[in-house]
Amino acid sequence: MTTDITTAKAMRHLRKTAIVLTTAVALTGSGAAAAAAETPLGTGAYGTSGSGPTMRDVARLVLAAGAPGYVARIDDGRRVSATAAGVADRATGRPLTARDQFEIGSNTKTFTAVLALQLIDRRQLQLDAPIEKYLPGLVPNGRNITVRMLLSHTSGLFSYTADADFFASVNANPQHVHTEQELLDVAFRHEPNFAPGKGWSYSNTNYTVLGVLLRKLTGKSLPVLVQQRITGPLGLKHTYFADPRATNTGVGYAHGYSVRFAGPEPIYTDISNRPLGGFAGAAGAIISTPGELSRFFSSLLSGELISPRQLKEMKTTVALPETFGKGGYGLGLMRIDSPCGSVWGHGGDTLGHHSTAVTTGNGRRSAVSNTTANLGDGTPNEGVNRFIQVVTAADTVTICHMLGRSAPGEVIKALHGGSMTTS
């Protein structure tokens, strides 16, 4: 869950990187080889854009920042390439591949938004109707909070993941499967961040409410809706809603790790057996692969999943706060104004993954990256700062590669930890 799922302090750091679509990964410390393999898919290998780093360079540098594995898949409109580095499982040393499944975190929100907009196309839901009309009594002040406000994060509802004790309770009882009502109870103990429609704040609570709404209007669970209305029609065989854990892991599954930089060496906790669906739900519980997540976003932006009218609504944005970078947030979809040009997509954080997915406005170019680690403690120190710095720079370089442009010198400098020298 960008999101979208780590400690509250780490979430504040990585929420910013997820909104501007950044990515990070690093060295395992397990003794496994950390070589980066750049593999051509389809018509040929992906070349270096201008004088900037290749994706192999990016992979090596993010591996050096502290996470077990990194993968990036880039379609520049002419050819597709994939770069994979590190391991998918620290216990076995199995190499990470570009086809492994992973937790996509808050990229799930775009799936949830598509399901809601499909209901609007079917005249089963109204975008500007109050949520009270459909879920009476569930949401405080629901008469003044519309479906649009939930989708665009302008409702003002407090995010349950921002509760100071939430992740402490998750880590204390990691196998507990939260109900939607439990998550909403955490959120509604807090006052709203602002009056409905009077601001913008990223809130996983908004999408938890939308999950309840989708089930109420259709009589179907989110795993069934995702399969019947998105993954089935698109032929996505390895993308599904974790209910509540990742079980359909196919030929390869990328473990996720919570990483702490409290001592001389990073400390890793494998969180792959956690019930993602039980605390991320409609806000962040989908499992996918780089290729299938790319297919989803490209299909959406090219008009395959919703009507032109609803796609226009989805791309109608409100400005992001300066702390979240340049761009805007629409209905479960972000516009990112990168140094190399504007792109559309989302980002996602879970306890052990940080991922991004972007595409051009017509869906013809796309880039998906996944880091198999996330911060278990965001208290600033050299390791944490380095992790965040590389996260931000790596994703910008990935976007630039997708667009066929060179990343600015300051971005390349940040990728190298302040040095312009290639490793």
List, by residue number, the catalytic residues.
106
Pair 67, 373: CB distance under 8 Å: yes
Long-range contacts for 222-228 (Cβ within 8 Å, ≥24 apart)? 222/112, 222/115, 222/281, 222/282, 222/285, 225/115, 226/111, 226/115, 226/286
Q: Is 205 helix (H, G, I), strand (E, B) or coil?
A: helix
Q: What gap in Å lies between CA 351 and CA 377, rounded to an integer?
A: 11
> Rounded to the nearest 5°, which phi and psi values hold at 370?
-140, 130
Buried b (16+ CB within 10 A) or exposed e, 148-172: bbbbbbbbbbbbbbbbeebbeebee
CB atoms < 10 A from the CB of 384, how many?
21
Q: What gap in Å lies between CA 67 and CA 370, rounded to an integer?
A: 11
Residues in the chain: 423
Pair 87, 29: CB distance under 8 Å: no
Pair 208, 160: CB distance under 8 Å: yes
Give yes or no for a cis peptide into 174 (omega within 30° of 0). no
Q: What gap in Å lies between CA 186 and CA 384, rounded to an integer?
A: 28
Q: Is 121 helix (H, G, I), strand (E, B) or coil?
A: helix
Nearest 5 degrees, angle CA 217-CA 284-CA 153? Answer: 70
